[in-house]
Amino acid sequence: MLKKVLIANRGEIAVRIVRACAEMGIRSTAIYTEPDRYALHVKRADEAYSLGEDPLAGYLDPLRIVNLALETGCDAIHPGYGFLSENAEFARLCEQNGVTFIGPRSELIHQMGDKTQARDAMRAAGVPITPGSEGNLADIDEALALAAEIGYPVMVKATSGGGGRGIRRCDSAEELKQQYPRVISEATKAFGSAEVFMEKCIVNPRHIEVQILADSHGNVVHLYERDCSIQRRNQKLIEIAPSPQLTPEQRQYIGGLAVKAAEAVGYTNAGTVEFLLAGNEVYFMEMNTRVQVEHTISEQITGVDIVREQLRIAAGLKLSYRQQDISYRGYALQFRINAEDPKNDFLPSFGRISHYYAPGGPGVRVDTAIYTGYEIPPYYDSMCLKLVVWALTWEEAVARGKRALDDMRLHGIKTTASYYQQILQHPDFAAANFDTSFVPSHPELLNYSDKRHPSETALALASAIAAYAGW
């Protein structure tokens, strides 16, 4: 078994990994840059080491992190999500230096990170993909010719892209001419590669992804699907497991496709296979070679601790479960509570949290790294906590989500919590009738009142008095 793990990340996912290590008797090592000196993951880990003043450079330096792991006696590195989690060079450095990378092999990260290679692999495995380019586009002329062949609208995507960046929808040849150089520019700046490809735009699909686990002994299982259709500009806001919109036949088919995809490439550790669903047509979109932000809801409905399984797999152990051992129960929703102002085009709202009260009660889980007095730095992702609710039925899960959002008190910054309340109250959401067009189709949901609850007004006054008095 692993003895000591360096966590190459920050925030709530670092705290999540620290907890899993503690339960398994594994020592945890945190890293941080100066803005994170008082962060919760630093406080909770068994050891913590500074990477210097620069907010980002240390978290993005593969060689420095691997060397630190060696210097501090760590036998493994968990990359979390974001930062270097899907960086093939980082995984390769771990392999070359005898440090276990808690994720798939470096060559597989490279293959799945290259969207055209991933499409080729799925095509060869018999997993349905959207019509589009075979390989990268050579130039705008090839793009125009292909778009005319497969029909508009089309999506131009960065081959090495991710996180909703490097993507443009084009509804006409004129739009394609305008957007093509922009995608190349964004891809070069964000991912260091100018390569792009094209695929048919599936209009208003449902975004369905499947959580998989695979060990090094040839065992692959899925933990059912998550519905990530509630999103804004390709950024997920609310995730649901399982999808309330799938039939049992669709659920079985899509879960089987995900396992087939993982087996085809020899996948190991935790991963996610993402699909677009239009009617009864299913199309492979991409494979994420890491733990997902929304792994929480798969854990809630199945009872499987995904991070624990990651650590076991990395240690060379077999999966704790066979597919027939895994079932799901009820529904879970995850709300990404972002430090953003929905009324101001979701502008980031960084600053000091003057008061934080976490919601609780039956079926409520909060994954976070914030606390009262914590200063949210402006250098990182705006997500400050993940609120997860579970209940036996869809209707109960939605009601519990409303209650938990109302329970939460988070002062000092703007958040997306009130906006999510509006989404939950919409009749289409309540009836589980939505797709990826839901958010852009309902701009009226942003017209909610900012009027404070009486208890919030009293709390704000008390906080101001305490601050003035120097308490």
d(CA 127, CA 264): 10
Cα–Cα distances in angstroms (integers) from residue 109 to residues 79, 196, 271, 275, 428, in the given order = 13, 18, 11, 18, 38
SS3 37: coil
d(CA 66, CA 98): 10
Which CATH number fits the domain 131-200, given the four candidates 3.30.1490.20, 1.10.3720.10, 3.40.190.10, 3.30.70.360?
Answer: 3.30.1490.20
Q: Calculate the average pLDDT of the chain.
A: 94
Cβ proximity of 369 and 18 under 8 Å: no
Q: Identify the band that residue 165 occupies on the pLDDT scale cut at 50, 70 and 90.
A: confident
d(CA 267, CA 290): 11
Q: Cα-Cα-Cα-Cα dihedral of 33, 35, 40, 41, to 10°?
A: -20
Does 290 participate in catalysis according to the annotation?
yes
| pLDDT given at position 450 | 76
Q: Which amino acid is at 79?
A: P
Mean pLDDT for 18-30 is 98
Q: Which amino acid is at 394?
A: W
Beta strand ranges found along 216-280 (DSSP E): 220-232, 235-241, 269-278
Mean pLDDT for 95-122 is 95
DSSP 17: H
Listed in sequence order, the residues at least 6 apart from 175 whose beta carbon sits closer than 8 Å to its beta carbon are: none
Element (DSSP H or E) covering residue 143: helix 140-150
Mean pLDDT for 437-454 is 87
Q: Identify the band that residue 452 occupies on the pLDDT scale cut at 50, 70 and 90.
A: low
| pLDDT given at position 458 | 56
Residue 460 predicted with pLDDT over 60: no
| pLDDT given at position 463 | 54
Catalytic-labelled residue, pool 290, 312, 336, 400 = 290
d(CA 471, CA 463): 9
Q: How many CA atoms lie within 13 A of 379 on its CB side?
A: 18
d(CA 87, CA 221): 24
d(CA 79, CA 310): 11
pLDDT in tens, 242-291: 999 999 999 999 999 999 999 999 999 999 999 999 999 999 999 999 99
Residue at token pair 């899509």: 254
| pLDDT given at position 461 | 59
d(CA 1, CA 317): 8
Q: Identify the band that residue 163 occupies on the pLDDT scale cut at 50, 70 and 90.
A: low
Least Cα distance to 68 among 43, 45, 92, 47 occurs for 47
Phi-psi group of 62: left, alpha or beta (phi > 0 → left; psi -120 to 50 → alpha; rest → beta): alpha
Residue 302 predicted with pLDDT over 80: yes
pLDDT in tens, 115-126: 889 999 999 999
Q: Identify the band that residue 189 occupies on the pLDDT scale cut at 50, 70 and 90.
A: confident
Q: Cα-Cα-Cα-Cα dihedral of 289, 251, 429, 239, to 10°?
A: -20
Residue 471 predicted with pLDDT over 70: no
Mean pLDDT for 164-170 is 87
Element (DSSP H or E) covering residue 456: helix 454-469
> Angle at the Cα of 362 (from 336 to 456), degrees rounded to 5?
60
Q: Which amino acid is at 210?
A: V
Listed in sequence order, the residues at least 6 apart from 139 whose beta carbon sits closer than 8 Å to its beta carbon are: none
Mean pLDDT for 432-460 is 82
Q: Cα-Cα-Cα-Cα dihedral of 60, 63, 66, 68, to 10°?
A: -90
Least Cα distance to 83 among 64, 108, 97, 105 occurs for 64
| pLDDT given at position 382 | 95
| pLDDT given at position 190 | 83
Mean pLDDT for 219-242 is 97
Residue 457 predicted with pLDDT over 70: no
Mean pLDDT for 119-146 is 94
| pLDDT given at position 469 | 53
Provide the total of helices (H) and of strands (E) in the chain, helices listed first. 16, 22
CATH of domain 206-446: 3.30.470.20
Residue 63 Cα to chain centre, angstroms: 25
d(CA 358, CA 337): 12
pLDDT in tens, 340-399: 999 999 999 999 999 999 999 999 999 999 999 999 999 999 999 999 999 999 999 999
Which CATH number fits the domain 4-98, given the four candidates 3.30.470.10, 3.40.50.20, 3.75.10.10, 3.40.50.720?
Answer: 3.40.50.20
Residue extents of the structural domains in the chain: 4-98, 131-200, 206-446
Phi-psi group of 243: left, alpha or beta (phi > 0 → left; psi -120 to 50 → alpha; rest → beta): beta
Listed in sequence order, the residues at least 6 apart from 229 whose beta carbon sits closer than 8 Å to its beta carbon are: 205, 206, 207, 208, 434, 435, 436, 438
For the chain, how long is the longest CA-to-CA vector?
71
